Every structure is written in C-alpha cells, then in structure tokens.
Amino acid sequence: MTGRLKGRRAVVTGGSRGIGAAIVEAFLREGANVAFCHYGDDEGASSTLKRAKSYGPVPLALECDVSNPADVEKFVGEAEATNGPTDILVNNAGISISHPFEDISIEEFDRILAVHLRGSFIMTKAVYTGMKSRRYGRIVNVSSQLAVKGGVELAHYCAAKAGVIGLTKALAMEAAPFGVLVNALAPGPVETAILHVLSDEWRSRKMSEMPIGRFATPEEIAPAAVFLASEDSSYFVGATLHANGGDVMQ
C-alpha cells in the first residue's frame, strides 16, 4: 500500500466479483473510500465485503442495474451520502453471452449494449457534472481487447466494448479542460465468471493465441485501474491501456 488514493471517494460498478472485486480491494488498499454495486450477486458482494474488512473502511455495497437510470440515481445518491462526492468512477459492470452471429437475438444484442455501453453512459452522467464543477475527477471505463481485435461468436460484446472506447475518447476531449481525466482499460482474457460462460472450444482456441500462454487473474488487471485513478495518470487523456498478455500489441 502506498496511499495513492488516500481520501478519494470511488464508485465501482460490478464490484462483487472478478475484475471489479479486485479493483475494489486494490482501491481500499490504496486508501480510497469505496462504494460498489452488483446485480443479483449478494453472495459475491458479501465475499468482497468480508475480504475488505482487513483494509480499513468497509465499502458500501448496493444492488444496481447500471442500465436503469432510477437504479443508478439511487446507487450514486446513497454512495455520495455515505462517502461524499465522487472523485473516481470505474465503469466495470459487464455480462457476456456467446453465440454465432446468426443466433444472436435482438434482445441479447440490446441487453449486452445496455449493460456495457448504456450503463457506462448513465453512470458517468450521474457523477460527471459534480466532477466538472469541482474541477477534478478520474473516470476509468473497462473495455476489452476484443473491442479492437474482434472475437468469434461475440459480435454483440465486441460492438459494446468498442463503443465504450469511443465514449471514452469523446468525453475525454470535453472533460480534460475541467480536470476530469477519462481513460479506458482493455483487459485480455481474464479468469472470471464472464470468461467461464464461453465454450471450452472458445477458451482452448483463445489460449492457443496468447503469446504469454495463459489467461490473467483479476489481481493482475487491478493495478492498471489504480494507476488510471491516481495522480500518476495526470497526463493520460482518452488513452486505452491494453493489459492483455500480448493478445493485442499497440
């Protein structure tokens, strides 16, 4: 722990498991006050809270569908009532469904975009005005290496994650003059529940493509989020950090 986020108020979506939980714990270790949300994962949220007790202030954990404006308003309202105005937002919430393109239903396509892209937009709207008025903020949008590479049977997911990078760049240009730095994180394959819903064939094929020869752990991704949330990233604007084991080299 170096205290790089000491006193900062952070909001993390999808913080009950996987990359989100690792980010919550990393932020706590760096001294931040954290509120995180989940959707239908009480068990995972309880597990994150249990581990968090050893780091200091216990984070606030609430259920929230990030694609629902009313849910987001309630979540952010309670987070700021507890911790104070939001300094850091990590848009991490995500889901994945793997299908050949012709089998992707319109409903599935809409839901994937709703969680990843619409959710990032709604959550950011909820905190951005305050950040702008205080002339300080860090927004970290979690995308994917598939946003730039594409992926078999993941057209809807790739489209959503590419949209997240586009949103990041556009807002970054507007926000930087007001001290709000917006960047993205594009992990490669990570051993999380999202990856495990994909077929064994997909996992085997992807593993064979990885120069590093393995998938990441969530704990290997979290330090990049800490960096983008801290003062160390003071000259990063609209950037996308590719923590992907060489799956995409940029």
As annotated, the active-site residues are 157
Please report which helix (H) or strand (E) contains residue 183, including its range: strand 180-185
The answer for residues whose C-beta is within 8 angstroms of residue 187's C-beta and 6 or more apart is 19, 142, 144, 145, 216, 221, 243, 244
Centroid of chain to Cα 229 = 12
Please report the sign of the dihedral spanned by the C-alpha atoms of residue 17, residue 18, residue 19, residue 22.
Answer: positive
Put residue 118 in one of left, alpha, beta given phi > 0 → left and psi -120 to 50 → alpha: alpha
Cα 86 to Cα 89: distance, rounded to the nearest angstrom: 7
